[in-house]
Every structure is written in C-alpha cells, then in structure tokens.
Amino acid sequence: MIAVLIVVCEVGFWVLLAGGLALRYLAKMPRTGVAVLLLEPLLELVLLVVTAVDLKNGAEPDWKHGLAAAYIGFSVALGHRTIKWVDVRFAHRFAGGPPPVPAPKYGRERAVFEWQSAGRWILAALIAMGLLQLAAWYVGDPAQATSLRDWQTKMLFVIGINLVIAVSYTLWPKKAPEGQPPPGGADERERDKAGTARRPPSSW
C-alpha cells in the first residue's frame, strides 16, 4: 500500500506540474495554474497521514515506511526548486520567456552553486531523518525500528556525499579556459537585460 502510494504521489506530482504550467502559459490562466501547482504539497501530506495510520494500525516498520519518510523529505526540500526549474524552461519553450541561465562552471561561483545545492539535499535528508526518528519513537520497540534506523544511516550517507562534493569544489575550484569571459561580464549582462525584457508576467 505505501509503496503504491509513493508511486501515485510521484506520478501525481508531474501531472499537477504539467497541468499547472499548461494552464499558466498555454491557456493564459496564470492564477488557475498557480492554484493547481499549490496542490502539490497535499500529495506529501496524504502520504504522511497514510504512513502514520499504517503504523498506528500495527504494521511492522519496514523499508516502505523508510522510503516514504525519505520521499517526503526530498519532496519538501527539493520540490519547489524542481517546479521553478521546469517553469523557466516551459516559459522559454511556450511563452517566449528568456532562456534558462546555465549553472556556473568555474571558480567561486561554481563553489557557491554546489554549496547551495548541497544545502537543499542536506535539508531533505534532515527532514527525512526527523520523520524517521518520530516513527521510531512511535513504534517504541528498537528491534522493530531497525529498518527505520537503516534509512537514517542512508540519509547520513547522502549528507556526507553532498558535503564532500561541495568541499571539493571549494578546495579545488575548476578554472575557466584562457580567453573565456568571466562570469557576470558585459556579454552576460547584455543577455540578462534582453532576457528580462522578454520575460512574461509572473505571479511567483
């Protein structure tokens, strides 16, 4: 039941995202589109409630409950970022919006980008660990909560990997090829101005 609901929530996320953006840009109904996008958090709420009820009804905690906690954590921390990422590309493709700004590749700007990305993944892992801890306390029996503890270990691994990546870009920054204009140069500023002029009205 829990595993099926996770799949349903993931499919529902993309269906709501596609529907909301289509209403916003193709049907020229921005408020209705935003309203549909705001339904996204309800999916995580439903999954959280069903998981809690399943445990309350005596289900033995297993990998499915751990996966549900991880899914909720990552949806909360990364969901809005994903929506914005898709929104910019959808607006560019269908509404004449500016092209997506590529992620920085070199130097301090790339290090900052990696730390921002790591921060979101670490937040997701911490939320998941908190939900797993609440579930373990609710179950009470340490022997029954073994699978939940295993998922907490997985979240620690996620945190460690992201820290290693961010630190590596800080200590060993990648250098831009010779002759390439630095980030924020005149050419880039002109592109930003042109993109801003063509940006469609946004209600974010």
> 35 lies in a domain?
yes
Average pLDDT in the chain: 86
> 203 lies in a domain?
no
pLDDT for the residue 193:
43
| pLDDT grade for 52, boundaries at 50, 70 and 90 | confident
Residue, of 177 and 22, whose pLDDT is higher:
22
pLDDT for the residue 32:
94
> 159 lies in a domain?
yes
> 43 lies in a domain?
yes
Q: Give me the number of domains the chain comprises.
A: 1
> 21 lies in a domain?
yes
Q: What is the mean pLDDT of residues 14-24?
A: 94
> 204 lies in a domain?
no
pLDDT digit string (tens) for 163-179?
999 999 999 988 888 76
Q: What is the mean pLDDT of residues 36-60?
A: 88
Q: What is the mean pLDDT of residues 57-77?
A: 90
152: domain range?
Answer: 2-198
What is the pTM (predicted TM-score) of this model?
0.82
| pLDDT grade for 197, boundaries at 50, 70 and 90 | very low
> 77 lies in a domain?
yes
How far apart, in whole angstroms, are the C-alpha atoms of residue 95 and residue 162? 35
> 42 lies in a domain?
yes
